[in-house]
Amino acid sequence: MSQRKDFSKPMYKKYDKIAKKTAVEFFQQYNYELVDNNDISKEYFSKGDLVIQRKDTKIPFMIEVEIKNPWKVSGRWQPQFDTIDFLESKIGTNASYWVLFNYTLDTLLVASLDTIRQSPVKTKAALIEDGTRTKDEEYRKIPIPKCKFYKKTTLGWEPTNATS
């Protein structure tokens, strides 16, 4: 049985709104718009974070948005990790895509939930804010080539190579 890290309300308050706002800016650059009257404070909780749609098709879909505080590198994935971890307890989300930002919000990755669901499950300890670790938390181990990476530049969000 997996041991879960407790939900951190202070971290949620600190990062949720800025992550959602930055995700909306990213998707707007690629011809998407936010549904729900551009209200990023609307919360879907376990279903996903935001509902967006392509401006031309108007077909809505949900995205899950997170910031990974330990991801300090800009423009690429952290070289010491050969996969990206998605918390298994979130696998039931209704989101179609997962957007993960680095700590400085200048690099992001996008992975489809279909890809995540096909990724292997592994158990590992998770770091908790106080420096302790959980015992057996389950994660989906997403291969880096299955994700698309983007770096924020003066021209906007541009695709980047995850490993260089």
CA separation for the pair 91, 123 (Å, rounded): 15
| Number of other residues whose CB lies within 10 A of the CB of residue 31 | 11
Indicate if the pLDDT at residue 121 is higher than 80. yes
Q: What is the DSSP letter of 90?
A: G
Please state whether beta strands 97-101 and 83-87 pair in parallel, antiparallel, or not at all (unpaired): unpaired
What residues does each domain of the chain span?
9-160
pLDDT attached to residue 144: 95
- Residues of the chain with pLDDT > 90, as a percent, come to 57
CA angle 141/158/73 to nearest 5° reads: 50
Q: What Rg, from alpha-carbon coordinates, does the chain have?
A: 16
Give domain 9-160's CATH architecture: 3-Layer(aba) Sandwich (3.40)
Six-digit token string for 84: 């990206």
DSSP character string of 12-69: HHHHHHHHHHHHHHHHHHTTEEESSTT-TT---GGG-SEEEEETTT--EEEEEEEE-T
Summarize pLDDT for 33-72 with one digit per residue, the tens: 988 755 666 666 556 788 999 999 999 999 999 999 889 9
* Model confidence, pTM: 0.86
Q: What is the DSSP letter of 131?
A: S
